[in-house]
Amino acid sequence: MSTDASTPPAATPSPPSATRFLWVALACAVCFITLGVGLLRSKPLERYGQLPAFTFTRQDGKPFGREQLAGRPYVANFIFTRCPTICPVFTQKMARFQKQTEGLGEELALVSFSVDPDYDTPERLTAYAAKHGADPARWSFLTGDYHQLKDIIVGGFKMAMGRNEEDPQDIPNIFHGSHFVLVDRTGEIRGYYNSEHDDEVERLLRETRQLVRSGE
């Protein structure tokens, strides 16, 4: 007597649902976007040329320049203490940047060059620095001979600077650039950032941290 016993077919895995494919695709997209943003942010900084040697007078009356800055990246800006317009805001933004980079300590320097050095004595610069909460261990204010300062600011940093040569007391006609400049440990310029644009100041913060981490 034979028995007709049929074997049940093996279970066939059900195909992944469309929802699962959607989540996998979304996860991959997020990974690629994150990777792309990371690569974009960490791309090598531009090189704009080496600064010539310079030495001026710091707010404490001591000589200060490229020799004292060697081995440290720094951010520079250009101001004068009796400026009634852009300088107070420009200096406030440097003060905020000082706070944002506290974690970098003295590894990062900040340098403000006076474009009105005949008026901006070390004593006036000291008072101005204190008014804006400058940490003297990190933030230097420089004064000196007008023409030497103009040579380094215009010829070295490639920033605007000038005044009414016939009347040094003509404050409205004293002018200067409003960009921050990022300089590496070797004295080479690595970036320019318009202080009037918040996104540019954010880029300065990001690229400064990148430069410090890179050891350049």
Q: pLDDT by residue (tens digit) across 88-99?
A: 999 999 999 999
In a domain, 198, yes or no: yes
pLDDT of residue 191: 98
pLDDT of residue 27: 54
In a domain, 9, yes or no: no
In a domain, 120, yes or no: yes
pLDDT digits (tens, 9 = 90+) for 46-69: 999 999 999 999 999 999 999 999
For the chain, what is the domain count? 1
- Residues 6 or more apart from 160 whose CB is under 8 A from it? 154, 175, 176, 177
Q: What is the spatial distance between Cα 149 and Cα 128, in angstroms, rounded to a whole number?
A: 19
pLDDT digits (tens, 9 = 90+) for 177-198: 999 999 999 999 999 999 999 9
pLDDT of residue 23: 57
In a domain, 127, yes or no: yes
In a domain, 173, yes or no: yes
pLDDT digits (tens, 9 = 90+) for 142-176: 999 999 999 999 999 999 999 998 898 899 999 99
Percentage of the chain lying above the pLDDT 70 cut: 81
pLDDT of residue 195: 97
In a domain, 32, yes or no: no
Q: What is the spatial distance between Cα 28 and Cα 19, in angstroms, rounded to a whole number?
A: 14
What CATH number is given to the structural domain containing 125? Answer: 3.40.30.10
Q: What is the spatial distance between Cα 22 and Cα 144, in angstroms, rounded to a whole number?
A: 65
Query: Does pLDDT of 35 surpass 60?
Result: no
How many Cα neighbours within 13 Å face the side chain of 60?
10
pLDDT of residue 40: 46
Gyration radius from the chain CA atoms? 28
In a domain, 1, yes or no: no
Q: Are 142 and 64 a contacting pair, CB within 8 Å?
A: yes
pLDDT of residue 104: 96
Range of the domain at 193: 55-214
Q: What does each C-alpha distance from 144 to 43, 58, 104, 137 come to in angstroms?
A: 37, 9, 29, 20
For residue 185, what is the DSSP state?
A: T
For residue 192, what is the DSSP state?
A: E
Confidence of residue 32 (pLDDT cuts 50, 70, 90): very low
In a domain, 114, yes or no: yes
Instruction: Return the structure tokens found at 191.
Output: 């970036």
